[in-house]
Amino acid sequence: MSVPLFDPTSPLGPLRAELRSAVHRVLDAGQFILGPEVEAFEREWAAYLGVRQAIGVANGTEAITIALRALGVGPGDEVVVPSFTFWASAEAIPPTGATPVFCDVDPDTMCVTAATVKAALTPRTKAVIAVHLFGNVAPVREIEALGVPVLEDAAQAAGSVSADGRPGALGTIATFSFYPSKNLGAFGDGGAITTDDAALAERVRTLRFHGSADKVDYVDVGYNSRLDELQAAVLRVQLPFLDRWAAARAAAGDRYAAALAGLVTLPQATPGSRPAWHLYVVRHPEPDRLMTALAGQGIGARGYYRTPVHEQPPMAPYAPAYALPGTAEAARTHLAIPMSAALSDAQVDTVVAAIRDADVPAR
């Protein structure tokens, strides 16, 4: 049996009729930008997360830039961001005029900690981007206790939970991506910004709409960055299923963890969290050898961030003078193995057997 690395389409099988009628509803309404579907999704997404405000935007990258701008981030400011993350977490900073300052991660959780953030703070730090990487939940409250506002990059963590609440409801402001392969995925690009702060939410609404309320008078130089009606309608059909899908991801992670100890280094959920694993990412001293061996058995596996963001050439102007040992370790050793809301016990067992058969020594 071959097992794909991820499978965003199987969970949608039972929803096809509902998805079709949602698309028809939008066609019939004939309103495609900022209409009733977006408004309803914003309400439903805020209610799901337990946060006061949700604002739909065009994608998870612009969500970060706009959220930073709403926080007042601009030229001369620094924004702390992990280097072990998807490129966009840091790419979204320079368009504000601010400087990315890279911090380390704990390779066991692959998330930032209060200590790694603290080491990167300076008097110019205006915000910290805490990435809930792979669905794990970064310790947002501990970081905000350092006295800096946290922007949660929750692109990979829809459906996860922590003792303090859901990602997206933990920091000053948070951003999501609804890229199709995400835990909650649209049929194209999409994103959202969430916050409890009404004034911040108002600034976000203005910034996503060209810096205007009406496209007649302008209060800011903003963006054209809206979630569209079709994507909102599609997301509304899926949202009631997100918790079920999250539970399936978490359960598949538990099954991996019980069977893979000793064969690979397991990802550790942060204290008090129950990650809806977006990707299940193990560590191994020879991840690419293991990946090749798994490919030979029809098992998808991939190292996503082999070169950390601060070592990518366009980030050279922002490269730190200090070492990031946790980042280096995670970048060198990580390997994503199959994970999806539709991953069956039999598929998990097939992957586990393939890792055992690959016989690439774990140390």
Ligand X SMILES: Cc1ncc(COP(=O)(O)O)c(C=O)c1O
The smaller minimum CB distance to ligand X, of residues 105 and 354, is found at 105
| Closest distance to ligand X from the beta carbon of 134 (Å) | 9
Min. distance of Cβ 24 from ligand X in angstroms? 26
- On whether the CB atoms of residues 155 and 177 are closer than 8 A, the answer is yes
The token duo for 149 is 């506002």
Task: Give the DSSP letter of residue 213.
Answer: S
- State the DSSP string of 170-202: SSSEEEEE--TTSSS--SS--EEEEES-HHHHH
Q: Pick from 53, 61, 172, 225: which binds ligand X (CB under 6 A)?
A: 61
Q: Among residues 77, 78, 144, 153, which is the contact residue for ligand X, using CB under 6 A? A: 153
**Residues 103, 330: Cα–Cα separation, whole Å:** 13
Pick between residue 151 and residue 360 the one whose CB is nearest to ligand X: 151
Q: Which stretch binds ligand X (CB under 6 A): 16-24, 107-115, 150-158, 219-227?
A: 150-158
Closest by Cα among 358, 223, 338, 348 to 282? 338
CA-angle at 191, arms to 186 and 193, nearest 5°: 145
Residue nearest to ligand X (CB): 60
Q: What is the DSSP annotation of 266-286? A: PPPPPTT-B---SSEEEE-SS
Residues in 243-262 that interact with ligand X by CB under 6 A: none
Nearest-angstrom CA–CA distance, 108 and 105: 9
179 binds ligand X (CB under 6 A): yes
- Contacts with ligand X by CB under 6 A: the residue count is 15
Q: Are strands 99-103 and 125-131 parallel, antiparallel or unpaired?
A: unpaired
Q: Does 53 bind ligand X (CB under 6 A)?
A: no
Q: Does 162 bind ligand X (CB under 6 A)?
A: no
Residue 323: count of CB within 10 angstroms of its CB: 9
56 versus 348: smaller Cβ distance to ligand X? 56
Stretch 110-149: interaction string toward ligand X, x if CB under 6 A: ---------------------x------------------
CB of 216 to ligand X, least distance (A): 29
Does position 177 interact with ligand X (CB under 6 A)? The reply is yes
Residues near ligand X, by CB under 6 A: 59-61, 85-86, 88-89, 131, 153, 155-156, 177, 179, 189, 191
